[in-house]
Structure 1
């Protein structure tokens, strides 16, 4: 009797696919068998084919005919975010979720993922590969990319969640449908933008440590991924600053409050930080052609640090006039020294003969860590309004 009552709740599991004829049948059959035998709630598996050019769509329709609670949706345009938006926005389930077709995440984590959403305890839930209790098998390249990206999110955007890219997420349907109009990306940045928007509105994000095994067939362009992410972060920061990121959310959801003034300072600091980071990478790349890495790093960091302090002085913390400008720059050099130590240390740890792209990523990670320190120093020390009032 108890099981029947529980199964009246419905969870929709979306499997977005693009040219996945190799793995689709085995993965969906495995997922269906697991949910049928182990999942105590009602479920629906939706295969969302986004413009595959191989035999994926035919296999998806066959699976929908063969297996109960499986359906297939076809999109004419490519994009994982686009596929999730289509299915989630039309869903009648209590909770919508998705997982990658390779099923890299252990399915035993699925019930802990959705249970807090069905109980109303949380609004969104994500699997995290970066928790201490997570067990992860993947190559150093993917590990480096993932940790770099999430460090950038935490340091530049102030994100509180630990793993934005894990393909294992769930959202209460009413929350997803409220947030989707505020999410612009249709590709891989979709997850990050959704999470940042949710956190901006004070929604509760539950994290589940997962066991995860890397798919060896994955192909990632490291530099292009980093640049796309920076562009996405810059766009989100602009929207937040302009107020366009504010959207209606369910009224009963309580919103978290940031310390006084930080709600306006964070997006402005993020915009300055993204522009400074791009300028730093460009200047470092130019100088690297004529001087060694450490010298190029120091020169690029010094120039952008001076400009960064000046921009944050006026734009982020609203300090105008020339009074105290020299003191602010002098104190801002403390943050410069922290950044110099972090970036120089990261470069010195690199083995000889690494590619220019790896150099750039190393200094990008260290720069992200230095950015977090910079914001804290600027907020609580350099531009602290109490200091200005006393003086």
Structure 2
């Protein structure tokens, strides 16, 4: 994803990861909508990577099928479950300037995506999060989910002195070189991954940009709220111990404050080199990292 414009200036790029587990029934529609939206209105080079983490339905077949006819879609399969594990794997290997992720249900309005990544591409900020709890957000969801979300974020403020407003919104982005520095220090591979990433960022005085989002609750959500809440509380306890023992400091790269960002033209955005720097292509790869461990180099397989 290293393109230059007619003036020889390298164009900025973003890789959007969509982590999925048993989502064959919605994958084609969601990725199709996302791809069409970005092609029509996103002014930077982009790649969409479907990260299938241990699906047991036809998700992998659906993902590889999408790579055959959508030019900016790539697919990766991991044998172990975990949203955090999937994001670590893809983000750590990305060649894009900025890596992002969003939930497959596209509950968050896509009009918020450019405001999410623009401060990172300019070098102004290091991480960016969509916030459903921002006073300017427009959110449609039931009172139970609203109460749980607000309670969790209140616990983060009280227990970890967190200043960000919404830890679990599935709409985030980070400068790739910043993530590579933070990744070895992130222990969680599931739902607490987001919170751990943000707490580490704050403790290392990174700049976090928040975007109020339009968000509509997905009635098909299969998140186990009780199990997730228990895991989050355990994760908070682990982070508290790390903070108390001073184990949150990370050596970080300088903020890339060039003050100049070159957007790709619509024509340039539709031509994207592959991971090896070659011509435009889409692809799929399958890898089998052991649970809880860093993934080995991927074995690529054409879709």
Where on the TM-score scale, by shorter chain, does this alignment land: which range? 0.7 to 0.9
Paired position in structure 2 for 1:92: 95
Q: 1:46 to 1:7 in 2, by over 3 A?
A: farther
Matches within 5 A, 1:288-303: none
Are the counterparts in 1 of residues 125 and 255 from structure 2 also a CA contact under 8 Å? no
Could you tell me whether the CA contact under 8 Å between 2:129 and 2:208 is conserved in 1?
A: yes
How big is the shift at 1:144? Answer: 1.1
Indicate whether 1:151 and 2:154 are aligned.
yes
Please give the TM-score of this superposition, normalised by the length of structure 2. Answer: 0.80
Which residue pairs with 2:270 in the alignment?
none
Q: Which residue of 1 aligns with 2:11?
A: 8
Question: How many angstroms apart in 2 are the aligned matches of 1:21 and 1:110?
Answer: 24
Unaligned stretches of 5+ residues in structure 1: 255-391
Cα drift, residue 66 of structure 1? 1.2
> Which structure carries more helix by proportion?
1
Please name the residue that 1:172 is paired with.
175
Could you tell me whether the CA contact under 8 Å between 1:7 and 1:41 is conserved in 2?
no
Cα deviations by residue, 1:129-158 (Å, 9 ceiling, x for unpaired):
011111001111111111110111011111
In the alignment, the residues of structure 2 paired with residue 55 and residue 47 of structure 1 have an alpha-carbon distance, to the nearest angstrom, of 13
> How far 1:126 moved relative to its partner?
0.2
Shift in Å, 1:241: 2.2
Residue aligned with 1:53, SS? coil
Can you list the C-alpha shifts for 1:296-321, whole angstroms capped at 9, x where unaligned? xxxxxxxxxxxxxxxxxxxxxxxxxx
2:32 to 15, 29, 34: 29
RMSD across aligned positions (CA) = 2.0
Alpha-carbon separation, structure 1, partners of 2:241 and 2:13 = 37
Residues 116-155 of structure 1 mapped to structure 2, 5 A cutoff: 116-155=119-158
Of the candidates 182, 185, 188, which is equivalent to residue 182 of structure 1? 185
User: What whole-Å deviation, never above 9, does each CA across 1:2-37 have from its counterpart, x for those lacking one?
Assistant: 899888211000000000011100000000000000
Q: TM-score, normalised by structure 1?
A: 0.62
Q: Does the aligned pair in 2 maintain the 1:6–1:40 contact within 8 Å?
A: no
- For residues 353-387 of structure 1, give each alpha carbon's deviation from its aligned partner in whole angstroms, at most 9, with x where no partner exists: xxxxxxxxxxxxxxxxxxxxxxxxxxxxxxxxxxx
Larger radius of gyration, structure 1 or 2? 1
CA distance in 1, matches of 2:10, 2:217: 32
Query: Greater strand share, 1 or 2?
Result: 2
Residue number in structure 1 paired with 2:228: 225
Unaligned segments of structure 2, at least 5 residues:
258-303
Alignment partner, residue 63 of structure 2:
60
Give 1:251 shift: 4.2
Q: How many angstroms apart in 1 are the aligned matches of 2:130 and 2:76?
A: 25
Contact 1:113 1:169 in 2 (8 A): yes
CA distance in 2, matches of 1:6, 1:167: 32
CA distance in structure 1 between the partners assigned to 2:172 and 2:66 by the alignment: 23
- In the TM superposition, residue 243 of structure 1 has moved relative to its aligned partner by 2.7
Quote the Cα distance in structure 2 between the aligned partners of 1:253 and 1:43.
19
Cα 1:117–1:218, aligned 2, differ >3 Å: closer, same or farther? same
